[in-house]
A and B are shown apart, each in its own frame.
Chain A
């Protein structure tokens, strides 16, 4: 076969795969580990194709990388993306055990490989191009029964996943009717807070609404404002009514204070001409308008 090219492919990909796999051990965040895994999966797919198993390689990408690893990512998102764990182990000595056993396993398996004498690769030769068909021939010929069993297994797994993650209500669902009944029974207010009313002059939140008789309705102001003492009086202001009739907006309530301060300024010696005048004239205008 094309041994030269394959070797190059192998030696390029293999170290990267190993590094990525090591990333799985050492990555702090779970998402990083997943990405490393994805790299490994795809590299494996490439290796499969290089090993004259194209069908398997594609399936690796589709099933493993595309489905399984994505599933992992979804679960990580469900669980919490930044749920990492510290490098300090809770189990005493587990780190050493883990490393020693891991390396020991490696050494054991390597020693097996050392004794191995492999015959020259026969390869699949001409059947590579028809690999899916050939595979299907073997699968549905010799391995029909396991195939069916695996199908059942998949169905079972799906049902299992459904059953396990199904949230079960431990209590009966409280519907709208139940909520309404409960509210009526407890004597709470059933309606929303009163709107300002037709005769209201202000619709600020801290000004109580007026009922048809013109009296303020206490409960229209939020309970919090009432408790803080930030409620304001809803005094009937004739000026505002006039302004209303004239179609002009009512001044804001803090105009009184400006008026009062401008009145104080008038009594002071008139020194500043421009601005003070402008202001005074403006305030005079407004005060005269008001006195009208």
Chain B
């Protein structure tokens, strides 16, 4: 079994997540793209952990998961607040920091 396959998969998922961030305008979908990127990284960590037989990789993946969860909480709370005040979830509408 070529473990590099998992890594390739992780790379593909990461790329797709990055493209989502750049291409979609709905804030929630952008956020999901970020989540996808984090997950891709997790996959890579777990794969490396298996390759080296070191559990540290899994521990790091565990931490990443936790932090991602916290991040989702805060991020979604922000999106909800913005929606409440602006009635829109398009990221392009939040451009008050222009210039």
- B35: chain A residues within 8 A (beta carbon): 37, 64, 68
A98 within 8 A of B: yes
Closest A residue to B19 using CB positions: A102
Question: How many residues on chain A are close to B (CB under 8 Å)?
Answer: 86
Inter-chain contact A40/B53, CB cutoff 8 Å: no
- B4: chain A residues within 8 A (beta carbon): 113, 116, 118
Inter-chain contact B74/A24, CB cutoff 8 Å: no
Report which of A18, A101, A121 forms a contact with B50, defined as CB distance below 8 A.
A121
Shortest CB–CB separation between residue B17 and chain A, in angstroms?
7
Contact A72 to B16, CB < 8 A, known contacts A30-B29, A52-B50, A124-B53: no
Inter-chain contact B53/A125, CB cutoff 8 Å: yes
Report which of A95, A118, A138 forms a contact with B51, defined as CB distance below 8 A.
A118
- B74: chain A residues within 8 A (beta carbon): 157, 160-161, 164
Closest B residue to A2 using CB positions: B1
Q: Which of B14-43 contact A (CB under 8 A)?
A: 14-20, 22-26, 28-29, 31-33, 35-36, 39, 42-43
Inter-chain contact A79/B58, CB cutoff 8 Å: no
Interface string of B53-82 (1 = CB under 8 A from A): 101101101110111111111101111110
Dominant secondary structure at the A interface: helix
A99 within 8 A of B: yes
Inter-chain contact A101/B18, CB cutoff 8 Å: yes
B12 within 8 A of A: yes
Contact A164 to B39, CB < 8 A, known contacts A7-B1, A25-B23, A56-B58: no
Inter-chain contact A102/B22, CB cutoff 8 Å: yes
Residue picked from B29, B80, B90, most chain A C-beta under 10 Å: B29
A286 within 8 A of B: no
- A60: chain B residues within 8 A (beta carbon): 42, 65
A199 within 8 A of B: no
Chain B residues touching A, range:
35 or more
Contact A121 to B39, CB < 8 A, known contacts A51-B46, A72-B76: no
Inter-chain contact B36/A165, CB cutoff 8 Å: no
Q: Which of A20-46 contact B (CB under 8 A)?
A: 21-22, 24-25, 27, 30, 33-34, 37, 40-41, 44
Inter-chain contact A25/B50, CB cutoff 8 Å: no
Alpha-carbon distance between A137 and B1 when the two chains are bound, in angstroms: 29
Alpha-carbon distance between A106 and B49 when the two chains are bound, in angstroms: 23
B99 within 8 A of A: no
Inter-chain contact A17/B13, CB cutoff 8 Å: yes
Please list 25 pairs of residues, one from A and one from B, whose beta carbons are closer than 8 Å in the complex, sorted by A's number: A18-B9, A21-B12, A24-B17, A24-B20, A30-B26, A37-B32, A47-B46, A51-B49, A53-B46, A53-B58, A56-B46, A56-B65, A64-B69, A79-B28, A83-B26, A89-B25, A98-B22, A102-B16, A118-B4, A124-B53, A135-B62, A138-B58, A150-B70, A156-B70, A165-B84
